[in-house]
Structure 1
Amino acid sequence: MTSEPSKAPPLYPKTHLLAASGIAALLSLALLVFPSSDVEAKKTTLSLELESPAEQLTQEQDAAEAVQATNEPAASPFAQIENSPEDTAQAAAPVAEEQKGPDHREVIVAKGDTLSTLFEKVGLPPTAVHEILASDKQAKQFAQLQRGQKLEFELDPEGQLTNLHTKLSDLETITLTKNDKGYVFNRVTAKPTVRSAYVHGVINSSLSQSAARAGLSHSLTMDMANVFGYDIDFAQDIRQGDEFDVIYEQKMVNGKSVGNGPILSARFTNRGKTYTAVRYTNKQGNSSYYTADGNSMRKAFIRTPVDFARISSKFSAGRKHPILNKIRAHKGVDYAAPRGTPIKAAGDGKVLLAGRRGGYGNTVIIQHGNTYRTLYGHMQGFAKGVKTGGTVKQGQVIGYIGTTGLSTGPHLHYEFQVNGIHVDPLGQKLPMADPIAKAERMRFLAQSQPLMARMDQEKATMLASSKR
Structure 2
Amino acid sequence: MHAHGDGRGHRENDLKRSSDRQRFKERLEILRDSSLHRQVKQHLAAHRWTRRQWIHASLFLSIGVMLATIVPGFSSATQAPSIRPFSTTTLSLPALSAQQRGGTAGDSWQLIKVKPGQTLRAVFKQLGIPAETMKLVLSNRNAKTALTQLKPGSELAFDLPVGGSLRTLRYDRDADHRVELALDGDQVREKVISRDSMTRTVVLSGTVGRSLNRSARKAGLTQANLNALTDEIFKYDIDFDSDLDPNDRFSVVVDQTWRDGELISTGPVQAATFTVDGKLHSGFRFARAGGKPEYFTPEGRPLKKIFIRMPIPYARLSSRFGNRFHPVLGRMRMHKGVDYAAGTGTPIMAAGDARVQFAGRQNGYGNVVILDHGRGYTTLYGHMSRFGKIRTGQRVAQGTVIGYVGSTGLATGPHLHYEFRVNGVHRNPLSITMPPPEPLGGAQLAAYRSYTARALAQIRTVENIIYADAGSTADKPVVAVAAKPKNGAKTKKG
TM-score, normalisation: structure 2: 0.44
Larger Rg: 2
